[in-house]
Structure 1
Amino acid sequence: MSGLTTIAFDADDTLWHNERFFQLTQARFAELLADYAPPVHLAERLEAAERRNLGRYGFGIKGFVLSMIETALDVTGDKAPAPVIRELVSAGHEMLAHPIELLPHAREIVAALAPDYRILLITKGDLLDQERKLAHSGLGDLFDGVEIVSDKTPPVYARVFERHGAEPSAAMMVGNSMKSDVRPVLDLGAWGVHVPHELTWGYELVPPPVGHARFRSLPNLGALPALVSEIG
């Protein structure tokens, strides 16, 4: 066993696809409101609403749907047709039931590391939705601990690591978001490993911490075991 004892994984767009369903629904949203505003304008208004509402609704599909409805009312001057609102609600229901599609290497890598390391899942979002996705992923039995949090900040990570008996200096967080999965854990002295996904919500995009001694970027999860061995 090396000095590394704990490896934590993000869930959405790190172990399984997620953002693609948001983008497909957003395209549907643009079609429904095409008579009221151009797609670019709608996208800007929707993202502004999502950011504004994070403190109220948190992260996840339910907040996204409420932000779509709010934006639809705003751009139509509170005259959004009832069928449009119903369609947006239906789109949310479909998102909450979408099938789970694991990303390449997800199962094999988590399974390969599990015998030698404490393996955690740290994900943010709606509790019921995240529990559903984990249950349908088939990965649940591989984790020593699962944490569904409202946001990912240094204090949140510190509490999670402490709860699971992990020293930050001996912990690694792996995820697709530079903002949520990498930078906060680097502040604690842990390893932050960025595995980019082709689709990333604008809110999660921040510059990489180039030059930080504990920051690493990998092309995919398949490269993780080699990195773990190198760090050890």
Structure 2
Amino acid sequence: MWHLTFILLFLGSCANTEPQLVSSGTLDRAYISSGIEKFFHVDLPHWANFSSAGQCQRKTNIRYLHFENLKNSYDLGYQDLIHLQNMFNRKLYAYKTSATQDEIPLKDESYVFYNVYQQVLGGSFDFIEPKFKKVSVVWIDPYLGDKKKLIQIIRSERVLQGHPILLSHCLTSYELEEFARSLNLDELGVKYLSADMFSIYGEDIIPKYRFTINLQKFLPGKEISVFGKTSFDALLGDYKFIPLE
């Protein structure tokens, strides 16, 4: 509240004798300029919101976080930063859906961010790590157009030797969950690694200038098998790759 009071006082001190009108948009921009904007990367234009690996144009814009600045300010590790970005985007999507609007006021975005940050500090994550030691990560993007084949793969004996995790560089978290439900794959207790969990930062929080996720660092202590039509160089860390037909 003191942010708005200070802004109004400042505007009043600069005003001439005629009354000045201040739009809500101006207040929003002033509110966000308190410093939180340094934690966000510039939004990609729609035409650039494309996955070359998945050969898909994403429908939903992803808010990518500036891991380096977040680490410097809050000393968060790689795993927590991935959780933070994922949960922040989930909350933004839920907000926009409930408010039936595409844009979220900047002051509300700030509130959402700090709310999610507190959850991460408390160890409360949307992605719950499987308890089973073996995990089977299935890169589903090449099969989005062949649902029957994908169902066969996910329900196959070799995939179910580990806890199944669906991975997509095309679909955001909510989109991936909805897609799995439409195929009744959610009944298997599948987990989700979605497009909003990729980042240009590696586990050392240094920019790599391409979007990746380090499976070994995000799923520490797990025996990871990755199933895919081809290898996927965006997946970093120590894991076993198993090619699919």
Pick the TM interval, shorter chain: 0.3 to 0.5
- The structure that is helix-richer by fraction is 1
TM-score by length of 2: 0.32
- The structure that is strand-richer by fraction is 2
